[in-house]
Amino acid sequence: MEHHDIVIIGGGPAGLTLALELNALGIKDVVVLEREQEAGGIPRHCGHLGFGIDNKNRFLTGPKFATKLRELTNGLDIRTGTTVLEFTLRGTMRLHSGSGISEMSARRIVLATGTRESSRAARLIGGNRLPGVMNTGTFQQLVYLKHQKPFSNPVIVGSEWVSFSNLLTCRHAKIKPVCMITESTNLNAPSYFSLGARLAFGVSVKRSTKLLSINGHIKVESVDVESGGQKQTIACDGVIISGKFRSENGLYSSGVIEQENTAPLTTDTYRTSKPNIYAVGNVLGHLETAGACMLHGRKLATIIASELR
Amino acid sequence: MDNRFDIAVIGGGVVGLAILRRFAMTGLTCVLLEKGADILSGASKGNSALLHTGFDAPAKSLELQCMQAGYREYIDIRQKLNLPLHETGALVVAWTQEELAALDGIVEKAHTNDVSNVKRLTQTELRVREPQISKLALGAVLVPGEHVIDAWSAPLAYGQQAIAHGAVILRNAEVTSVERVNSQWRIASMAGEVTAGTIINAAGLFGDYVEALAHEPSFTIKPRKGQFVVFDKPAAKLARSIILPVPNERTKGVVLFRTIFGNLAIGPTAEETDERTNPATDSATLAKLKSRAIEIVPALTDIDVTAVYAGLRPATHHKDYIIEAHKDKNWITVAGIRSTGLTGSLGIAQHVAKLYAKHFNKLPKKPPEPIWTPVPNLAEQSIRPYMKGGEIICHCEWVTRGEIEAACQGSLPAGDLGGLKRRTRAMMGRCQGFYCGAEITTMFEKVKHGTS
């Protein structure tokens, strides 16, 4: 069985930076396992600006940022197309790669599996099951990686930073959103975003508005919403379900470590309830920028390095 | 394509496909016409995927007879078709004194229905078997023969086996008119005209519409909607058995059950509806189902919902299945097949073949050697394709690129994205397509439009 000092699960901003920094600190036996065919994480499909190495000079698009990260980590042991299926009872990892199943062990394991938006199903949003209803993540991939236009006039659900980023993706694909709706009375993003949405994109944000159902026969035709006891039907041909991020917990959800709201419970030194397992980046449940995740990766590297000395 | 057949089956649900398989394997020439873009586009796509013993079915009913014959045939052929079986058993759980008092009656009824291994469990025995069940559970009836299967692989296998025996399956083939000319049925469909000696109407939710093309229907389909909530995989270990309620006058109640894919699900509701396609879920009902599941197994509180869906049962006013031969015109009606249709389908097919032989034509004396067409395994407890390598595209359900490509090829390739999901599980896991949705939908569009 392959054994390493440190195995990092997830090759996004946090995981890659951790590997890079450990290497700089002289710790060489480090492997990054990335299940996608390309490392870089979520920024790979965030085609809009706002990304910067170490959170500085945030003038890069996500894909450029991801490319830069990959360049910086060139030469490190990063294995793409490799999935950790589960932790075995012996504490090793069961891996899948192109050639089949194998097992790997490590002195220290770092969870850097990131985060995803909660789905329509998890939010118990009713109505018909139709194409054209998707999370921001899928929408971005369709537009920026697949060059598709899945709808023309969607409703955007949510008022977080990521919700507003959809306006940029829509503009890129010549899509005109009908409106944004949010259950909260206040935005979960700076309040001037709402003004910007209206002035720069011509899209209004309807607050205290709950999505009741998504309707249509073979494609989305409308959504029913409720606001202040009043029900209203809004015509649209797609729905973007944004935000409400959940830790990508598939690997540890069956109870390897203690967790709270799908995020691993950690100490301020990124330790989980299992002494040799750490967690870093957006898997911890507070959604942060890619640059901020890099900084956490650096911090954990110094912690691990000092422990190893 | 030669468009003359002995048998035309209308409807590509589990019942139609099982009937097609049965006739094709006797050596008759068969065609199936399905309105949707893929098989299983109607009632068969949304059910609870349980293999029933018939312990609680009406005694001496046709439904019970077909279920028990279907159950036996499923067990008999499943290994040859690579169909999964998760032998969970079921518990009918009593939550009130009134329900507790009804348990002996349930055992007695099961014994009348020849399900002789059904027995009472005390509260302690129930706890031992289901340590996670709520302390409010008072006692139970154990039905060891109730099992979990895959509602989609089975009919797919029946269809592929029928095709291997020469049957033709036409999709996007809504039947628009039928006409009896020179002792033959001339059938006009959206996919062209076919001629057949006998029509089997297995049109499910549209059974009465199809019946009306030939004669006054003796029944009206009153669709009954069932909504379901599916919990993420860690939930599966919280319940070993299928947890059934004690049925009462008003309702059969909702069931908490494992899926063959390693999830735990609750449903169905029973709601009268006018919808015949794409039934809607509603948030309030889904929330109620979720909290009912938590009442039954409190540890579910901490587990995410992976998926929600609604299915339709083609109910009629009649309690039993309606299966009848119209002697003067070579037409067999198969209607009102509700939740038990998945279990009953193979038995229904046997019964329909007998009706055909009795009233219309003898079956060929020497049926051909059976050809077995095993389907890829999707069940959690058996070997899955990713274990041999390849590129995983759907990370929640561990579906490989090879599996998706295979589902787009072969004798009965996926006809739409829903069909692809049912054949592979792709996009049906906890992220519901967040990671892989763009890749898979693009891949499928390319295959469908022949650009790859």
Report whether pLDDT(B224) > 50: yes
Closest CA to B167 of B6, B11, B406, B397: B6
Preceding omega of B268 cis (within 30 degrees of 0) = yes
Calpha distance B72→B60 (Å, rounded): 17
Report whether pLDDT(B215) > 70: yes
Nearest to A121 among B237, B285, B305 (CB): B305
Mean local confidence (pLDDT), B227-240: 95
What pLDDT digit, counting tens, does each position of B389-436 carry?
999 999 999 999 999 999 999 999 999 999 999 999 999 999 999 999
Instruction: Label residue B452 by pLDDT band (50, 70, 90).
Output: very low
For residue B432, the chain A residue with the least C-alpha distance is A119
Q: Domain B90-144+226-313: which topology?
A: D-Amino Acid Oxidase; Chain A, domain 2 (3.30.9)
Asked if A116's CB is within 8 angstroms of B431's CB, the reply is yes
**DSSP letters of B327-359?**
GGGTEEEEE---TTHHHHHHHHHHHHHHHHHHH
Given the candidates 3.10.20.30, 3.50.50.60, 3.30.360.10, 1.20.1250.20, the CATH classification of the domain at B4-48+152-221+317-359 is 3.50.50.60
H helix or E strand, kind and range, residue B6: strand B4-10
Domain boundaries, chain A: 2-116+246-308, 119-243
pLDDT at residue B12, rounded to an integer: 98
Higher per-residue confidence, A17 vs B449: A17
Query: Which of B38, B305, B432, B443 to mutate to probe the A interface, most A CBs <10 Å?
Result: B432
What pLDDT digit, counting tens, does each position of A29-66 carry?
999 999 999 999 999 999 999 999 999 988 999 999 99
Asked if B283's CB is within 8 angstroms of A212's CB, the reply is yes
Residues of B in Cβ contact (< 8 Å) with A141 = 437-439
Domain boundaries, chain B: 4-48+152-221+317-359, 90-144+226-313, 385-448
Candidate from A52-56, B103-107, B110-114, B370-374 with smallest mean pLDDT = A52-56
Asked if A142's CB is within 8 angstroms of B278's CB, the reply is no
Report whether pLDDT(B359) > 50: yes
Report whether pLDDT(B302) > 90: no
A10 to chain B nearest CA, in Å? 13
Closest CA to B6 of B327, B322, B363, B367: B363
CATH number belonging to domain A2-116+246-308: 3.50.50.60
Asked if A125's CB is within 8 angstroms of B285's CB, the reply is no
Calpha distance A250→B192 (Å, rounded): 48
For residue B306, the chain A residue with the least C-alpha distance is A122
Mean local confidence (pLDDT), B310-317: 94
Report whether pLDDT(A89) > 90: no
pLDDT at residue B200, rounded to an integer: 98
Asked if B398's CB is within 8 angstroms of A141's CB, the reply is no
Domain spanning A119-243, CATH architecture? 3-Layer(bba) Sandwich (3.50)
pLDDT at residue A254, rounded to an integer: 83
B106 to chain A nearest CA, in Å? 35
pLDDT at residue B1, rounded to an integer: 57
Report whether pLDDT(A187) > 90: no
A271 to chain B nearest CA, in Å? 22
Asked if A142's CB is within 8 angstroms of B435's CB, the reply is no
Query: Which of A33, A96, A282 to mutate to probe the B interface, most B CBs <10 Å?
Result: A96
| CB count in 10 Å sphere of residue B282 | 20
pLDDT at residue B72, rounded to an integer: 98
Greatest CA span in chain A, whole angstroms? 64
Candidate from A189-198, B155-164, B282-291 with smallest mean pLDDT = A189-198
Average pLDDT, chain A: 95
What pLDDT digit, counting tens, does each position of B257-293 carry?
999 999 999 999 999 999 999 899 999 999 999 999 9
Nearest to B280 among A121, A127, A262 (CB): A127
Asked if B326 and B333 touch (Cβ cutoff 8 Å), the reply is yes
Nearest to A255 among B234, B305, B390 (CB): B234
What pLDDT digit, counting tens, does each position of B110-147 carry?
999 999 999 999 999 999 999 999 999 999 999 999 99
Residues of B in Cβ contact (< 8 Å) with A131 = 417, 441
For residue A212, the chain B residue with the least C-alpha distance is B283
Residues of B in Cβ contact (< 8 Å) with A134 = 433, 437
For residue A85, the chain B residue with the least C-alpha distance is B398
Calpha distance B136→B258 (Å, rounded): 21
Query: Does B4-48+152-221+317-359 match B90-144+226-313 in CATH topology?
Result: no
ipTM: 0.94
